[in-house]
Homo-oligomer: A and B are copies of this chain.
Amino acid sequence: MRIDARQNRERVLSAARAEFTAHGGAASLNKIAQRAGVGPGTLYRHFPSLADLLVAIIAEDVTALCARGESLLGHPRPGEALREWLRAVAVHSSAMRGLVAAELLGAAQNPALSDCHTAIRAIGAKLLRRADDLRAEDLRPGRTGIDDLLTVVNAVAWAAEQTAHDPDRLDRLLALVTRGLP
């Protein structure tokens, strides 16, 4: 890829993050291009659809999230590891006015985002199983599955973004929601 092309791609991604953060899902592609200092045609050359743009933005974070999860698999206290990772998921999902949470929950409709969702789910399932194993006597059919757990974490991440900003709220809601976990 040509140097200027790569630079423009980065500038578009950066502008898109800013616009999505400012306006959530109502962000405009023309304004993203304008903020990036490129013409709309340039934006389209790099990202044929809005979904491509979102995937590119989200994918970077998801990679980091999965790496974090992998390393937490070696944490001496599995329950704590799970909570720490769920908090990282929530922070990630809070981005861009909760747009990330909304997209990930509806990821089934979008093949590219679906990969992100699958990756998160996989590492989350490992962390949850490891935490569960420590008290195997509690294993019961109805124990929380990773899908419901991630759905709830995404939900509170989104909710925390919808109201006036309160720095402690996300942690309070997460505590409420993960109460009863190993």
Instruction: Write the residues of chain A forming the contact surface with B, with a CB cutoff of 8 angstroms.
Output: 102, 105-106, 108, 144, 148-149, 151-152, 154-156, 158-160, 162-164, 169, 172-173, 176-177, 179-180
Residue of B nearest to A164 (CB): B108
Q: Do residues B162 and A148 form an inter-chain contact, with CB atoms below 8 A?
A: no
Q: Do residues B144 and A151 form an inter-chain contact, with CB atoms below 8 A?
A: no
Q: Which one of B102, B156, B172, B179 lies within 8 Å of A162 (CB-CB)?
A: B102
Question: Helix, strand, loop or mixed for chain A's interface?
Answer: helix
Q: Which one of B149, B159, B172, B179 lies within 8 Å of A155 (CB-CB)?
A: B159
- Bound-state Cα–Cα, A149 to B176, Å: 8
- Bound-state Cα–Cα, A102 to B162, Å: 7
Q: Do residues B158 and A176 form an inter-chain contact, with CB atoms below 8 A?
A: no
A177 to chain B, nearest CB (A): 6
Residue of B nearest to A106 (CB): B162
- Bound-state Cα–Cα, A105 to B160, Å: 9
Q: Do residues B148 and A173 form an inter-chain contact, with CB atoms below 8 A?
A: yes
Q: Do residues B164 and A152 form an inter-chain contact, with CB atoms below 8 A?
A: no
Q: Do residues A176 and B102 form an inter-chain contact, with CB atoms below 8 A?
A: no
A105 in contact with B164 given A148-B176, A176-B177 (CB within 8 Å): no
Complex A-B, nearest 6 residue pairs according to Cβ-Cβ distance, in ascending order: A155-B159, A155-B155, A105-B162, A179-B180, A106-B162, A155-B156
